[in-house]
Copies of this chain bind each other. A is one copy, B any other.
């Protein structure tokens, strides 16, 4: 199975602008990418990065300047056999969580992200195509049904947590097991438990 990790190399993680400076966002995004690649490797697969620009990481990189949806669909079209697509900002991903994605013997396997996205998927049906715009989880369920593909859904907090916003940093501090949590701690982030849900503070 090919395991693709799309990565937008230019100005990543803009919605973390209230927590991190631009160069920090780029560095943190690369750190999360490295964590995701390591977790995939530890699950016994060989990840490939699908990047909008060349970058140096410990995995093969394919450069495709197109936006996410056409770039992934290009890879789906050119590949014989199953393809997995795992987002680069799943800083909580572990080999065990990824195994629950890779394991089901369904034509399409979807791991929903919080807020309606699709954080990871496996496509074994050659006619399945992605559309990451909008409520993609719901749309991918419909797209799978439209091509007659049997679908499995992975119920995982780790895979549901893409790190896009300040509140997501708390999840990394709580559950992260890789370099991203170390990066955040080094940058001064800590949990603050004053209100209802835990928040992050920076010292």
Report A's interface with B, CB cutoff 8 A. Answer: 15, 96-97, 100, 112, 114-117, 134-135, 137-138, 155-161, 164-165, 167, 170-171, 174-175, 191, 193, 196-198
Given contacts A138-B174, A174-B137, contact A197 B115 (CB under 8 A): yes
* A134 neighbours in B (Cβ, 8 Å): 193, 198
Residue pair A112, B157 in contact (C-beta under 8 Å): yes
Distance between Cα atoms of A104 and B182 in the complex (Å) = 30
Report the minimal beta-carbon distance from A132 to chain B, rounded to whole angstroms: 11
Copies in the complex: 2
Contacts beyond the supplied A97-B155, A115-B196, A155-B157: 12 A-B pairs with Cβ under 8 Å: A114-B157, A114-B171, A116-B170, A116-B193, A116-B197, A116-B198, A117-B197, A135-B191, A135-B193, A138-B174, A156-B156, A160-B160
Residue pair B97, A174 in contact (C-beta under 8 Å): no
Report the minimal beta-carbon distance from A30 to chain B, rounded to whole angstroms: 20
